[in-house]
Structure 1
Amino acid sequence: MERPVPKRSSSSQANVAKKSDPPAKAPAIDPEAERRVRKKIDLMIMPIICILYLFCFIDRANIGNARLAGLEKDLGMKGYDYNATLSVFYISYILCEIPSNVLCKLVGPGWFLPILTILFGSCSLANGFVKTVPQAMAVRFLLGIFEAGMFPGIAYYLSRWYRRSELTFRLACYVTASPLAGAFGALLASAILTMDSIGGSIHRWRMIFVIEGLVTIGLGIIGLVILTDSPATARWLTPDEKELAESRVRSERVGQSKVLDKIDKVKLIKGVTSPVTISLAAMFFFVNITVQGFSVFAPTIIGTLFSEKTTIQKQLLTAPPYLLGSIFTLVLPFLSWRMDTRQIFMILGAPTGIIGYIIFLATDKDDATVRYFATFLIASAVSSYGAFCSGQASANVVSDTARSSAIGFMVMVGNLGGLVSTWSFLPMDAPNYPIGNGLNLASQASILAIAVGMMFWMKRDNRRRDERHEEAEAEAKLREMSKSEIEDLDWQHPYFRWQI
């Protein structure tokens, strides 16, 4: 492909794929044909992906709804048993993050993601039959193993189909399942609890797990039929559309000759050691303290604020903040897509979360209306970070292999924050939870500091790269390298620039 001369004045220059030896003419991409192909991909891939992740998050967070419906009492939970049950999920979830994403690449995401869905749906179903706390912990541990690959796996999968500017909004379409799962899960749990039983023997909170687990298993089977690994294997694309779908993604990958490369150690390490990947992982750690904690403790917090309400009313009151969060999760990444930038939106979200937790710390449980308003601020502030962090990690590495390890590493470190979140709202801290709210305030401030620092560093390093690499010097360096060595450069390629 023909290598365009880099624009020295722009730090947000596109990562256009290049070969230094020999140069070849890149075919022009017809914008209208590309629009048609993108629309086709959207219609065939996005709906099932969004639904699978919606139930992934529901099956993870429905323990909060089950808690309101009597899970703790029926299982004889005491003290910190509930927090410990949440924690075992994150232990397996964190440990399996990177291995699962590498396995996703090896097996093929078109098979791997639906199979995971069937397996974690089975775990949700099994949750409806546990009799003791150890049994509940064992099922949650298995749930963590099977859910570990979904978030990074879907992000990696979509990076095979979409350009950098398009990807964050598509990520948001499935990440919105996180706040939407809170709302939909609350409504679904409320509807389920209006039933007396299933089969005469499954009552109350057990019905939540059984019904949601069965639905998830069915969706996984549908996913096996619909999903395909990549454009090259898509039965619903014509040969010309397959070539166009691959060439438009390949055009943004500096030094890469193909969209799907073979796994090698150098590229895996490059994905993990990118400065932007490491910074995003640290940010995602603090993001998950709030996001994951909010997902499983929101029903408890809102139940404390409205203690006079019935169980079903409390379930319904958890839905509106999540619905607002879903709107922001889509609107902000949509603007990011049109502007082809992500970092500024990551900076703008944190102050709203900071205000929300300041309100919680400055009030007490008797100020129910004010605190309930604060939950709306928090949900709107943090819900879109999953899309932005994943999109930014994908945009700032080059090869398919590096992308799989970068996203997997970022999510693994991030979910350490999820583990922390399980101990952020403790029984001794009720009803005002100053420790949990203080921890989340500090997390939001850390997100703001990291996001601002990343933006200034990327701009400065792009200027350094512009000044350091003259055209002739870069060409000479590349001519001395083999094709595989050039591909292994990844973000160290002389024509690569950080995407802000």
Structure 2
Amino acid sequence: MDLGLKKADAHATCEAEGLALASSGQNESPLREIVAAQARRKTDWIIVPMASLMFLFCFIDRANIGNARLADFESNLGLQGNDFNSVNSIFYISYILFEIPAVILCKKMGPAWFLPLITVLFGLVSIASGWVQNYPQLAGTRFALGIAECGLMPGLSYYLSRWYTRAELTFRLSIYISMAAVSGAIGGLLASGILKIQHFGNFGASSWRTIFVLEGIVTVAIGLAALAVLPDRPETAYFLTSTEKHVVVGRIMAERPHAGGAIDKMSTKKLWRGVANPVTIATAIIFMLESVTVNGLGFFAPTIVKTIFPDKTVIQQQLLTVPPYVVGTASVITVCWFSWHFKTRQIFIIIFVTPVMAGYLIFLVTLNSVARYIATFLIASSAFTLGALCHGQAAANVNSDSARSMAIAVTMFFGNIGSLISTWAFQSWDGPEYHIGNGLNFATSSAIVIIGSLVLFFMRWDNRRRDRMNVEEEFVDLSDEEIQNLEWKHPSFRWRP
């Protein structure tokens, strides 16, 4: 037989197998596995890098106020007392209020339109921040920034869950979420470099205003690039062949046999199932506790470094914030790679919060500058890891696309409550020891170990209970639509630790 005909027959067979996989749920054939790997590589090189860039500058635009603080930001705007804390709180108030509506809009509008457009929007708000003259104007731009950014992180996690299986997803989430750690490093380097610019526009020499404007311009450019590059779903991906599209969709549907399609029609019942899910709620609480640490580190790392190295110049202090974030970036990717290959997340959540506990314990017991600087490495090495694991856990333990979007949104909603708390964790009058902030973070990280262990016990116990259930008896008098709407209550559903 002609080689070309053999290849055509192979592709035709693989398309049929990809479609059949959605209903069969059988183990993948070697040929289908090869096609799936090809599609995964393409997605890894196109979707994930763009998602990572958008989130990188989202976090930079959010946290650059911490870098500006080291360059006469507060004195120029007449900020006093707790004004710095309050403007950061204002950001999270709008973020919390608009987040769930933003995620619903993301699903309705389509992630490929929604995510790039809000990236352009928060870039423009960052640019506008360079011209604020007083506290009310600063508060207004921070409120607007919260509205613009609130849909990005949950939207990106939801978007990536359209492309990857549960086991594959956490590692890809780790790559984009690790940008929060990268932003700490790059943000410090960018700020130190920008502050060397003698004049930009009508700003004076070494002005903190230039930080907001230049970083905002880059963000707008990234949003416009994403608008051109990102497809909405595997079925419309320009970089996948017809065979690869079928296999990608088939693999995702095989994990969710009762979901009503890879991209289902939104319904209130499915959205509610995503919320009223015990693992979603527990994971959301863990993410809330973790967010206190991550955002506290992001906003106050420059301040912490300043108290440790008070004799360094401003630029040297900016540069000293970089190394812990480099360690954090490597850690989150490494841990989530192991999570992918072991196909579990919960045990990693429990284990890798312990360095955070150790770091804040060091802050509580000593003022030694070397010990405290080492503590920032311990905290950064694990704090960012939990974000990717929590998002992966929320996405893995629901069934339909609608429930998944809401589970991620609820996880982020709770996370931003933690972020709001973090803005008040480190009070100026409590330095340089910061007993309140460090004690709070030690308590939250300790609570994660307890809650995470209880959730792991529940999932294993409930899976054993479901194994004893008679599936046919549970479906008596239920229509197909009602069976689809059961979501995690479906007898064949199993929790995935």
Distance 1:110 1:266 in 2: 25
Q: Secondary structure at the match of 1:117?
A: helix
Shift of 1:254: 3.4
What amino acid is the match of 2:125?
Answer: C
Shift of 1:479: 6.2
Residues 291-313 of structure 1 show CA distances to partners (whole Å, capped at 9, x for unaligned) of 01110000001111101000000
Shift of 1:256: 2.3
The residue aligned with 2:182 is 180
Shift of 1:18: 8.0
Distance 2:382 2:106 in 1: 31
Whether contact under 8 Å (1:281, 1:413) holds in the other structure is: yes
What amino acid is the match of 1:490?
Answer: E
| Residue 255 of structure 1 pairs with residue 258 of structure 2 | yes
Shift of 1:164: 0.3
Q: How does 1:37-76 map to 2 (within 5 A)?
A: 37-76=39-78
Distance 2:237 2:135 in 1: 45
Whether contact under 8 Å (1:97, 1:408) holds in the other structure is: yes
Q: How does 1:385-424 map to 2 (within 5 A)?
A: 385-424=386-425
Distance 1:231 1:323 in 2: 33
Shift of 1:41: 1.1
Q: 1:355 aligns with which of 354, 358, 362?
A: 358
Does the C-alpha gap of structure 1 residues 17 and 273 become closer, same or farther in structure 2, counting only changes over 3 Å?
A: farther
State the percentage of identical aligned residues.
Answer: 47
| Residue 245 of structure 1 pairs with residue 248 of structure 2 | yes
| Residue 164 of structure 1 pairs with residue 166 of structure 2 | yes
| Residue 318 of structure 1 pairs with residue 315 of structure 2 | no
Shift of 1:237: 1.6
Shift of 1:175: 0.3
Residues 231-253 of structure 1 show CA distances to partners (whole Å, capped at 9, x for unaligned) of 11112222222111111111101
Whether contact under 8 Å (1:17, 1:255) holds in the other structure is: no
Shift of 1:26: 9.5
| Residue 490 of structure 1 pairs with residue 467 of structure 2 | no
Q: Secondary structure at the match of 2:85?
A: helix
Distance 2:75 2:285 in 1: 37
Shift of 1:123: 0.8
Does the C-alpha gap of structure 1 residues 199 and 311 become closer, same or farther in structure 2, counting only changes over 3 Å?
A: same
Residues 50-86 of structure 1 show CA distances to partners (whole Å, capped at 9, x for unaligned) of 1110000000000000001111010000011000010
The residue aligned with 2:10 is none
Distance 2:51 2:27 in 1: 32
What amino acid is the match of 2:484?
Answer: E
Q: 2:282 aligns with which of 259, 265, 279?
A: 279
| Residue 475 of structure 1 pairs with residue 472 of structure 2 | yes
The residue aligned with 1:198 is 200
Whether contact under 8 Å (1:165, 1:337) holds in the other structure is: yes
Residues 363-418 of structure 1 show CA distances to partners (whole Å, capped at 9, x for unaligned) of 12xx1111000000000121111110000000000000000111001110111010
| Residue 269 of structure 1 pairs with residue 276 of structure 2 | no
- Gaps spanning 5+ residues in structure 1: where? 1-15
Residues 92-149 of structure 1 show CA distances to partners (whole Å, capped at 9, x for unaligned) of 0111111111110000000000001000001111111100011001000000011100
The residue aligned with 2:9 is none
Does the C-alpha gap of structure 1 residues 25 and 476 become closer, same or farther in structure 2, counting only changes over 3 Å?
A: farther
The residue aligned with 1:431 is 432
The residue aligned with 1:30 is 32
Whether contact under 8 Å (1:101, 1:149) holds in the other structure is: yes
Q: 2:156 aligns with which of 149, 154, 157?
A: 154
| Residue 232 of structure 1 pairs with residue 235 of structure 2 | yes
Q: How does 1:434-473 map to 2 (within 5 A)?
A: 434-467=435-468, 469-470=469-470
Does the C-alpha gap of structure 1 residues 279 and 206 become closer, same or farther in structure 2, counting only changes over 3 Å?
A: same
What amino acid is the match of 1:347?
Answer: I
Q: How does 1:108-119 map to 2 (within 5 A)?
A: 108-119=110-121
Q: Secondary structure at the match of 1:260?
A: coil
Provide TM-score, normalisation by structure 1. 0.93
What amino acid is the match of 2:128?
Answer: A
The residue aligned with 1:6 is none
Shift of 1:478: 3.3
Does the C-alpha gap of structure 1 residues 451 and 112 become closer, same or farther in structure 2, counting only changes over 3 Å?
A: same
Q: How does 1:298-377 map to 2 (within 5 A)?
A: 298-364=301-367, 367-377=368-378
- Gaps spanning 5+ residues in structure 2: where? 1-19
Superposition CA RMSD, Å: 1.6
Provide TM-score, normalisation by structure 2. 0.93
Does the C-alpha gap of structure 1 residues 17 and 346 become closer, same or farther in structure 2, counting only changes over 3 Å?
A: farther
Residues 432-471 of structure 1 show CA distances to partners (whole Å, capped at 9, x for unaligned) of 101110000001101111111110111111111112x13x
Q: How does 1:94-105 map to 2 (within 5 A)?
A: 94-105=96-107
The residue aligned with 1:3 is none
More deviation, 343-352/167-176? 343-352
Distance 2:174 2:354 in 1: 20
Residues 174-208 of structure 1 show CA distances to partners (whole Å, capped at 9, x for unaligned) of 00000110000000101111111212435510010
Distance 1:253 1:158 in 2: 16
Shift of 1:481: 2.6
Residues 7-44 of structure 1 show CA distances to partners (whole Å, capped at 9, x for unaligned) of xxxxxxxxx9987xxx8999857111111111111111
The residue aligned with 1:288 is 291
Whether contact under 8 Å (1:18, 1:256) holds in the other structure is: no
Does the C-alpha gap of structure 1 residues 252 and 149 become closer, same or farther in structure 2, counting only changes over 3 Å?
A: same
Whether contact under 8 Å (2:22, 2:250) holds in the other structure is: no
Distance 2:315 2:46 in 1: 36
Whether contact under 8 Å (1:302, 1:314) holds in the other structure is: yes
- May I ask how many residue pairs the two structures share in their alignment? 476
Residues 295-350 of structure 1 show CA distances to partners (whole Å, capped at 9, x for unaligned) of 00000011111010000000000000011000111000000001100011101111
